[in-house]
Amino acid sequence: MLFPETVWRIHKRDHTVYLTFDDGPHPQVTPWVLDTLDHYGVKATFFCVGENVQRYPDLFAEVKRRGHSVGNHTMSHLQGAHVGTKTYLHNVFRANELIHSTLFRPPHGLLRWAQSRVLRARFAIIMYDLVTRDYSRKLTGEQVFANVKRYARNGSIIVFHDSLKAEKNMRYALPRAIEWLQQQGYKIDAITQL
């Protein structure tokens, strides 16, 4: 792995997986996600885009009020590999003025080594080992759910998206994935400040 100092899986507890959501909060999607998580008694981690937090501060506050953890996903969903380090870091730190978390996930998992070196001094950089691909127009909800069943394992960090692009597939796959994981005996948890 190019960035071994980042977190790809969490092995703290047996038979536990970590549910995460990227790109929100979004008023059309995030409330449904929160209600679904409440229904199943599950806590998750929301990696939020700063611009969305700025647009929907009450919704961001609701995510935290319901007991979920939050992380920084940059101010404007910036991909680190496509911009200079100074620009990228400024974007991340602007987002953190709104999000106030020690957890960070780079959009698309892309960042430069120099960016990683600076960020890991301030954040736990949380990657993933299971991207559901709920955002893909080439996949159905059934296929997204199948990805969870095929790749989930102890310590998995699972990525869904509370975004419009992912909404259709995620609405199908998320409840089924939670039910299936619970039937397999997995505890589903949020990532706390590492």
Question: Active-site residue 14, yes or no?
Answer: no
Whether the CB-CB separation of 80 and 59 falls below 8 Å is answered with no
Question: How many Å separate Cα 17 from the centre of its chain?
Answer: 13
At 130, is the secondary structure helix, strand, or coil? strand
Residue of 26, 68, 77, 161 marked catalytic: 161
Question: Active-site residue 161, yes or no?
Answer: yes
Residue of 22, 23, 129, 134 marked catalytic: 22
Residue 194 to residue 191: CA distance in whole angstroms:
8
In the numeric block, which tokens belong to residue 155? 């310590």
Residue 89's nearest CA partner among 108, 53, 114 is 114
Catalytic residue annotation: 22, 161
